[in-house]
Amino acid sequence: MFSVYKPSGGVGLVTWPLMVVGCIAATVLAHIYHLLLEWIPYIYVSALLTLGFGIALGTISAFIVNKGHCRSLMTAILVGVFLATAGMIAKFYSQYHTNRTRILSELETSQEISEEERAAVIADFNENYTFAVHLKDRIDTGWAFAGRGNANGAPIGGWLVYLVWLIEAGVVFYCVWTMSSAAAKEPYSEKMNLWASESETVMMLPITSDEMVGKIQSATSVDELLEIPIPKDDQSAKLAQYIVNSIPGQEMEDAYLTVKTIEYSINKKGEQETKEITLVEHAILSSQQRAQLVENAELLNEALDDYRKSLQEDQSAAGQSLDDSEGLRE
């Protein structure tokens, strides 16, 4: 069986200071996220904001993994979890701080409290309004999300608050988990200490039979993978994409081949759908094998181009014959 890339488990030292900076960035994003949730009380917008917050934290965690040269899957996930935890805690604390400031402002300007009592009321509030009290108040009062035809919004409180928090945390943690782990799985050259960040689609091969897919899946060596199956024609809604990841500017170093099928279809609504299935992921190619793959792909592309030209010529000839026949009839 051919060799495929597997992360070495190495972790660059710069990963840890980058994670600290990332946690700081997560707290800033959490404050902005909280403010947007307060300013835009529409449930659909809130859902999009949560997704955006998760993707933002996932992007930061993937950046840390990449720049920190982290090839350890567990460490990458740990980085993502730390960022997500920091972001969620910062979001709740930002809500607490905002609510505390608002209530203090109301106490300082309330006409229902006499000047003699105001100082004592404010002091009592400062002493007793803890983070735990804030959370309990949040659970009891809940939110009022505005929706279509409901300007004031339907109240959400009690156990539904826990459900909303659980869904929110699930979305955020899922984003950072998948994005940070995906970054750690990217091919990396231990010899060059560089990511194979250059990605090139060498070929889009029309799949005209299941046997073609079977040939790719049954390959037991790189040489067999390089023997690109020949399609019957170039008319197919299913394609095999040959992708080579390599180190920029290092053509003599190992590269990594991924082969996936892409199938296009039209659903009942008339919309185009795409289905992708990975057949081979990050098979290791030597520089000679990479050159052979490129050469094979070029030869097959030339053959397909010749086939297309012959079809066009046949169609043109058929059209000309039809025109000549009609001219003789006239």
pLDDT digits (tens, 9 = 90+) for 207-216: 888 888 888 8
For residue 281, pLDDT beyond 90: yes
Quote the pLDDT of residue 149.
45
Q: What value does the mean pLDDT of the chain take?
A: 86
**Model confidence band, residue 145 (pLDDT cutoffs 50, 70, 90):** low
Contact 187, 245 (CB under 8 A): yes
Q: Where are the domains of the chain?
A: 15-186, 194-325
Strands (E) located in 267-315:
272-285
Quote the pLDDT of residue 41.
75
Alpha helices in 143-271 (DSSP H): 159-185, 210-217, 222-226
For residue 158, pLDDT beyond 80: no
Which burial class, exposed, middle or buried, applies to 220 when counting CB atoms under 10 A from its CB (0-12, 13-18, 19+)? exposed
**Model confidence band, residue 330 (pLDDT cutoffs 50, 70, 90):** low
**Model confidence band, residue 150 (pLDDT cutoffs 50, 70, 90):** very low
Q: Mind listing the pLDDT tens digit for each residue in 23-54?
A: 999 999 999 999 998 888 787 898 999 999 99
Quote the pLDDT of residue 325.
56
Quote the pLDDT of residue 146.
52
**Model confidence band, residue 148 (pLDDT cutoffs 50, 70, 90):** very low
For residue 318, pLDDT beyond 70: no
Distance from the first to the final alpha carbon of the chain: 68
At CB < 8 A and 24+ separation, what contacts does 190-197 make? 190/8, 190/10, 191/253, 192/247, 192/250, 192/253, 193/69, 194/247, 194/248, 194/250, 195/66, 195/69, 195/247, 196/245, 196/246, 196/247, 196/255, 196/256, 197/245, 197/247, 197/248
Quote the pLDDT of residue 151.
46
Stretch 75-102: mean pLDDT, rounded? Answer: 94
DSSP-assigned letter for residue 190: T
Cα(303)–Cα(294) distance, integer angstroms: 14
In this structure, the strands spanning 255-266 and 198-206 are unpaired
66 token code pair: 């990449």
Q: What is the dihedral of CA 312, 318, 324, 325, to 10 degrees?
A: -160
DSSP-assigned letter for residue 157: -
At CB < 8 A and 24+ separation, what contacts does 189-196 make? 189/247, 189/250, 189/253, 189/254, 190/8, 190/10, 191/253, 192/247, 192/250, 192/253, 193/69, 194/247, 194/248, 194/250, 195/66, 195/69, 195/247, 196/245, 196/246, 196/247, 196/255, 196/256
Kind plus residue range of the DSSP H or E element containing 202: strand 198-206
Weakest mean pLDDT among 22-31, 47-56, 136-145, 172-181: 136-145
More confident residue, 86 or 322: 86
DSSP-assigned letter for residue 253: S
- Reported residue count of the chain is 330
Stretch 127-156: mean pLDDT, rounded? Answer: 70
Q: Mind listing the pLDDT tens digit for each residue in 222-270?
A: 888 888 777 777 778 899 999 999 999 888 889 999 999 999 988 888 8
Cα(130)–Cα(226) distance, integer angstroms: 66
Weakest mean pLDDT among 68-72, 81-85, 131-135: 131-135
For residue 310, pLDDT beyond 50: yes
Quote the pLDDT of residue 280.
92
Quote the pLDDT of residue 258.
94
Quote the pLDDT of residue 315.
61
DSSP-assigned letter for residue 68: T
For residue 84, pLDDT beyond 70: yes
Q: Mind listing the pLDDT tens digit for each residue in 259-279?
A: 999 999 888 888 889 999 999
